[in-house]
Amino acid sequence: MSTFTWTVHGDGRKMAAGEVVNPDERLSWPRTISIGAQHVVAMFGATFLVPILTGFPPATTLFFSAVGTVIFLVVTGNRLPSYLGSSFAFIAPIMAAKSSHGMAGALGGVMVAGILLAIVGLVVQLAGSKWIDIVMPPVVTGSIVALIGLNLAPAAKNNFQKAPVTALITLVSVILITVLFRGIAGRLAILLGVVVGYLYAMVRGDVDFTHVKAAAWVGFPTFTTPTFSIAVLGLFVPVVLVLIAENVGHVKSVAAMTGKDFDPLTGRALLADGLATTLAGLGGGSGTTTYAENIGVMAATRVYSTAAYWVAAAVAFLLSMSPKFGALVATVPVGVLGGVTTVLYGMIAVLGARIWVQSKVNFSDPVNLTTAAVALIVGAADYTAKAGDWQFAGIALGAAAALGVYHVMRSISKWRGTHDPALTPATLPDDVEGDVKADVVRGLEPDADPGPDSH
């Protein structure tokens, strides 16, 4: 498939019930542009929240997000639809690195994470992706994702307390918008909640437009070169594990929706995201990842055309060329951030649990239970350790604990013969039937409430 060549789907205007527009197809250009604009709206809130929270220039982050999306489309041969937006996994390490080594030091960490991810991508492309499942089983992946959200909880609390009324209005707005609206509006609850909180703060006089007035309408983003310190690398290495999980999940999600086998592109996807993150770290942007928000747009429209993502990248690039636009985004008050991050960081933690649920992780297995238990407490309490010039914070130690505890316990239990196979219905007493049996298999107490669906 040529980079800029797509087959027009049908007449380019209509889609029959049940039809999908495949990655190598497109609708008419007006419709493709419209869908591409939807992708920009879908990624906008999350992509801009990361630089707002970390203090990075929003326009610069958007610029590298657009460039990263182009890199992804090119490296994957224009066969895998995805938008590369700011990764939430970088929030905690960037904030920690900035406090000790400034923005340049944090960018060095982002760049190293990108290089490592690119290397993983090359290895996967050559050796296949099966080894990822062996090294990072769902209990480990879910634990790492969950502990990142829990590690960020204190930051959300601090922002909330600085302007509690504004934060509460923002939080309530996100909650209500989520259940009041259907379609794209419901999917953009976080972005719309920020808008409501922002308007309230503006009425209160808590928004300062001084820098917005001084900013030019057109101009290049602010670029910053990285510096490298061994002390911060331990903060960023665990992020690579999260990016691997996110990219692999994206490939499998698109494959499930389109009915096509994209597993051969897994290595290319990892390599592309690694290159995009490396470039972002080199110039002043936050690390990138494939975006679930845009999967939602594809699921809603049934249009998986990569042409729409080229449009999205072009729109994002144009927006990044307006310093005034970037300055406006940077005026979001701390109270608004406190409200929205209360939801956002919690969602990150719950996504880890969602990985466990979807993968049917059995917590009656003491190896799984101990792995998650140790990792979550280390991450949530923000344990720290130093070894010479190296400094390891909660996320790094939690990720190391998840990997170490799981593989050490699993190896020893197999060697000693103390490993109990996961319970199956066949091993349960004959009088344990139906839903109760299913609960026991999942490690729940009989009659326990498994809770609502995670999505």
pLDDT number for residue 260 = 83
Spatial distance between the Cα atoms of 452 and 427, rounded to a whole number of angstroms: 28
Q: Is 300 helix (H, G, I), strand (E, B) or coil?
A: helix
101 Ramachandran zone, left/alpha/beta (phi>0; psi -120 to 50):
alpha
Cβ–Cβ under 8 Å, residues 297 and 38: yes
Both structure tokens of 215: 């900013």
Predicted pLDDT at 141: 81
Q: What integer pLDDT is reported at residue 203 of this predicted model?
A: 92
DSSP state letter for 265: G
Candidates 320, 334, 242, 325; CA nearest to 280 is 320
Q: What's the rounded Cα separation, in Å, for the pair 228 and 276?
A: 18
pLDDT at 194: 84
Q: Helical H runs in 206-361?
A: 210-214, 230-258, 266-283, 292-301, 306-320, 323-329, 334-358
Give the Cα separation of 455 and 452 in Å (integer).
9
Which of 239, 322, 314 is closest to 57 using CA atoms?
322
Beta bridge partners of 84: 290
Q: What string of H, E and C letters represents the secondary structure of 2-18?
A: CCCCCEECCCCCCCCCC
Distance of CA 285 to the CA centre of its chain: 16
Burial 2-18 (b: 16+ CB within 10 A, else e): eeeebeebeebeebeee
Task: Give per-10-residue mean pLDDT for the chain (455 aa).
Answer: 74 77 88 83 75 87 94 94 88 87 93 95 87 83 83 84 92 89 69 88 88 84 89 83 82 79 89 96 91 72 88 92 81 86 81 82 90 91 73 76 91 81 39 31 34 36
CA distance 196 to 16: 38
Determine contact, residues 269/253, Cβ cutoff 8 Å. no
pLDDT of residue 184: 58
What single string gives the DSSP state of each residue in 228-239?
Answer: --HHHHHHHHHH
Enumerate residues 6+ apart whose C-beta is below 8 A from 313. 66, 67, 69, 70, 73, 83
Q: What is the pLDDT of residue 309?
A: 93
Domain ranges, ordered by start, for the chain: 19-353
DSSP code, position 250: H
**Residues contacting residue 447 through CB under 8 Å, at least 6 positions apart:** 436, 439
